[in-house]
Chain A
Amino acid sequence: MELTRRSFVKSTAVALASAAAAGTLAGCSSLAGTGSAAASGEGVKTVGVCRFCGCGCGVIVEAKDGKVVSVTGDPENGSSRGLNCVKGYYLARALYGEDRLTVPLIRDDKATKGTASGLREATWDEALDLVATKLRDTWKADKSRLAFWGSGQQPIVEGYCTAKFWKAGLLSNNIDPNARLCMASAVVGFMNVFQTDEPAGCYADIDETDVFVTWGANMAEAHPMLYSRLTARKLADSAVRHYDVTTMTTRTSASADKVLTFRPGSDIAIANAIANYLIVNDKYDHAFVADHVQFKQGTENIGNATDDGYDKSEIGQAVDNVEPITFEAFATRLAPYTLEYASELSGVPAEDIQELAEVFADKSRRVLSLWTMGVNQHNRGTWMNHCIYNIHLLTGRYALPGDGAFSLTGQPTACGTAREVGTFSHRLPADLVVKNPDHRRYTEAVWDLPNGYLDAIEKPGYHTVKMFRELSKGNIDFLWSAHNNWAVSMPNLTRFLGKGDLTGVNDAFICVAEVYPTLSTQYADVVLPAAMWVEREGAFGNGERRTAVFEKAVDAPGEAKWDLWMLMEIAKRVLAGEQIGGEDAFDHLFGAWYDAETAAFKGTDREVCASIWEEYRTFSNPDLNPDAAAINAEAKLKMEAKQLAPYEEYIHNHGLTWPVREVDGQWLPTLWRFCDGKQEDGFDQYGIEAYGESGLAGGVSFYKSADKRPSVVFRPWEPPAEEPSEEYPFWFCTGRLLEHWHTGSMTRRVPELDRALPEALLDMNPADCERLGVTDGDRVRVTSRFGTCDITVSTAGRTRPPAGMVFAPFFAEETLVNLVVQDTYCPLSKEPDFKKTCVSIEKIEG
């Protein structure tokens, strides 16, 4: 019998199910020892989660003779229940590119920076000594001149230990993740509206809704398997509708019953017009508003954060200010946003906006808003997040199954690590922030630090754009980056890479932990070869609050090492001779897991991960630490609200969505936050019992919000940072496409994926092409006031920008679209606007 891929997936499922039935799941790695795998002659199967996007699809990894031979969908994973996109299908190949980094590399001559040469092989000791010496020297001389740039792809325990080293060990807040480039506006939106950074809903909302509204989201390409789920829902019920609110027609528009194509930056006007329509026509949910909502307005006319001085300017320091207002005042503020005004600003017909408003008004149907980078990578990204929640809170559509607003996350553990662990310049683990004294006390309790120890990091450090601006200006002496590729992914690379003057980047000492050579390693003084994905054990937290472990399946090649080992080795060198509370500083922070003398972990990968997790878990289980419990009670921090389970539970259950509650010895996940109902059905029973109220409108209780009332904040439409002009007549939008993950450093080394999409193309409107005299396949030069890149034009229609707009993906380092993209950021979230740089386009003759 020919074993087709599908039957293989089925047989995998059966093997897993039988293993589970036999009670052998004391760690699914024990699948390795089950008869089914051994007897069949197949390899060893372990449980994992996909390395790429925020969908967080579960996978079964099969390894044979020390090599991963296949990756298939995990039917037991609650987020995906089997199947992958083509990236996940070929995931095993991502480990085996020909040029894996397997030996530490050192650059002796800084003049070779920015080239593919100049790195020589070194021993680990030499490389680690060099990195640690540079870090220690910088630290001792001027702490403001060191930085760590992390990632929404950095596994959870590594992120946790990195944050602990940086914040407690070095007492520095100059640590930020690449999640700043993708989720920061969503985060600030969550914090401003709900005072908790989390989506209330889950992926199952997709199965239960009646109307999808996608806002600035190309799910079909950026969240492939969730879009499959959306499509399945639509096919299951012909009454289900989809409205695509977008600046250009994408593959996601294919399932839309109506596409609302708006002029870039005008989405806030549309959202406000919908809110205004609902109030003016008395079509909002009075009971929900009365029970759950408070109204506010904030600082307006906030300008644009294009220049360095913005954050410190008068307006820059006032952007977070809000004040309470009455419902009537809120309605008055909205009043100018008539359908006609929104139509005038956006170009969307007034009747289409009205139709969408009526969708929200119709309480017989459930409505699910989904959004991603079009909303977040926006000069008013935080505000647009607000405006979506405003509509949902006014209509009582939040935190209810199928009736909600769901911020889709981009990276596999942007939630799990960057946000939940808190690897940002202003955060501490578990939603705590450095500027709050109670939060610092709580963190000191968990980390066993002297009282007041963390007062030294009361002030936030450099956010990502600031960090790289300072680097380019020569104000950073030491940069360590891991799980990212900043020399491709940062906006305005022309500026960060020095506009030809590389002084800042050249003079800084840059350490890059990587698995393959990238443009970032071309600027590195030291390259540390890292173990990749299942070459070590790790965990990710995906877009629906699901934490999932990926087991170690194979050893790393050559001398490549687990990032956590690198961190321990560098931390022990940097902290040598330092003390915390009268004890050796390194041992105090990491001694439970790592033996500095023997340079080895005190246990297997599994044991170390579980032990670190147990400490991390204390943040959300204060009862594990009496001092923490006392602070939690006194300061009313409600830390149990995001309760995490013991490590093994995540392996047994193939991932769990938090909060996870222990009920009769079982750890039960939560699918719908703040929604009353039985825990075993996925509702937030114990959270509401502990902190919330029953019997309120909608059966929800927002117990994490101030006064248990989320904030509806009036946010005005303000124009984009720049608008098309005679000199730069086109909007330039960048994004992700299905075949490649981010900067392509992994997926372009998979021959099948490279074949599938070998080059980045500039999608253009045929009318623009005709006007410019360019045609499909022509090379053009794209120029903004920031920089220039050359690219090939396509009019095939994969995406269909309207006239006056062009689109290109950012995966191709040889095209490097980020040379062109502005680094203007949302003043609140500091997340750059990758979607609306103004450019000129000219044909390259010859």
Chain B
Amino acid sequence: MRIVAAAGAAAVFAAGVALAAAPPPLPLLRPPGMASPADFAARCVRCGRCLEACPYQAIHAAPLNAGRAASTPFVNARAQACRLCRDFPCAAVCPTGALAVPEERAGAAMGTAVVNEETCLSFQGMRCEVCYRACPLIDEAIRIDYRPREGDAIHAVFAPQVNAEVCPGCGLCEQRCPVGDPAPAIVVVPTGADEAAYLALRNDAV
């Protein structure tokens, strides 16, 4: 009965990665613990040890057509998000310091989740908030802003709000979001990426 949606999303992501081969490159969502995209790019030796260490098989090697990013590790959050293991086994095995074990889970520095208020069911007054309840840092990285619903005395809007200061960008919200058309209503923008450009590309890719 388990419905595996990962394959489709991975294919979609591969398309995105393929696009990354052309300039400007699409930033990838990196495993937890990089200092900065530039530092990561300089240190990562594509050894694949973080891939092997991940207990959730969430880390993949970018395909060969990804240009300079080929074979570097990335997370396709929609298919399988980072689960923010408390001991960060992926970063712990990194031999070069491209990934370093963060002091706390909020410091994973993968990216920041962004809610699409147009497609988010919660913003339309539905009781959804799946992203919020799925968030490993519930009430910290994502909290609910309870709002009156205009012209409606018997429903409130449960608006998910991402705290960019805390959100580590693990992507569990993106993985769990029940909206899929044209893209999840909450998407993690990788650290260093241009938010608008990245979101546009994600929407177009699907």
Contacts and interface: CB of A to CB of B under 8 A. Distances in A.
A795 to B, nearest CB: 9
B121 interface: yes
User: Which of A90, A739, A756, A798 has the most chain B CB atoms closer than 10 A to its own CB?
Assistant: A756
A797 interface: yes
A83 B153 contact: no
Interface string B157-183: 010000000000000000111111000
B3 A255 contact: no
Given A236-B148, A754-B3, A756-B177, A86 B130 contact: yes
Nearest to B139: A797
Contacts of A81: 152, 154-155
A738 B134 CA distance: 12
Interface in A48-98: 80-86, 88-90
Contacts of B134: 756-757
A251 interface: yes
Interface residues of A, number: 49
B153 A232 contact: yes
Interface in B115-166: 118, 121, 124-130, 133-139, 144, 146-149, 152-156, 158
A796 B105 CA distance: 12
A207 B121 CA distance: 24
Given A86-B178, A232-B149, A756-B176, A798 B133 contact: yes
Contacts of B139: 797
B136 A796 contact: yes
Given A4-B118, A5-B121, A207-B154, A797 B130 contact: no
B126 A84 contact: yes
B55 interface: yes
Interface string A251-272: 1001100000000000000000
Contacts of A88: 126
A739 B135 CA distance: 15
B133 A738 contact: yes
B60 interface: no
Which of under 10, 10 to 19, 20 to 34, or 35 or more describes the interface residues of B?
35 or more
Nearest to A752: B178
A630 B127 CA distance: 50
Interface stretch (A221-229, A298-306, A671-679, A687-695): A221-229
B178 A753 contact: yes
Contacts of A473: none
A752 B179 CA distance: 7
A235 interface: yes
B206 interface: no
B43 interface: no
Contacts of A236: 148, 153
Contacts, number: 118
A657 to B, nearest CB: 15
Interface in A197-214: 206-207
A28 to B, nearest CB: 22
Main secondary structure of the interface of A (DSSP, over half): helix
Interface in A420-454: none
A798 B132 CA distance: 9
A5 B47 CA distance: 46
B138 A798 contact: yes
Given A86-B130, A89-B121, A755 B136 contact: no
A89 B121 CA distance: 9
B85 interface: yes
Nearest to A759: B2
Given A86-B126, A86-B178, A229 B5 contact: no
A755 B186 CA distance: 14
Contacts of B148: 232, 235-236
A751 interface: yes
A705 interface: no
A835 interface: no
Contact of B127 (A9, A207, A224, A758): A224
B127 A227 contact: yes
B128 A89 contact: yes
A752 B178 CA distance: 5
A777 B136 CA distance: 11
B126 to A, nearest CB: 5
Given A755-B5, A797-B139, A6 B130 contact: no
Given A235-B156, A236-B148, A255-B146, A755 B178 contact: yes
A232 B130 contact: no
A653 interface: no
B83 interface: yes
Interface of A: 4-6, 9, 80-86, 88-90, 206-207, 224-225, 227-229, 231-232, 234-236, 251, 254-255, 737-739, 748-749, 751-758, 775-777, 796-798, 813
Sorted from nearest, which 10 A-B pairs have the closest CB atoms?
A: A224-B127, A752-B178, A85-B127, A231-B156, A86-B128, A232-B156, A756-B130, A754-B3, A756-B178, A229-B154
Given A86-B121, A755-B5, A756-B134, 11 more contacts: A5-B121, A6-B124, A89-B128, A232-B154, A232-B155, A236-B153, A749-B3, A755-B177, A758-B2, A777-B85, A796-B137
25 contacts: A5-B124, A9-B124, A81-B155, A83-B126, A84-B127, A86-B130, A225-B155, A228-B156, A232-B149, A232-B156, A738-B127, A738-B133, A739-B130, A749-B3, A752-B179, A753-B178, A755-B3, A755-B5, A755-B177, A756-B176, A758-B2, A777-B83, A777-B85, A796-B135, A797-B138
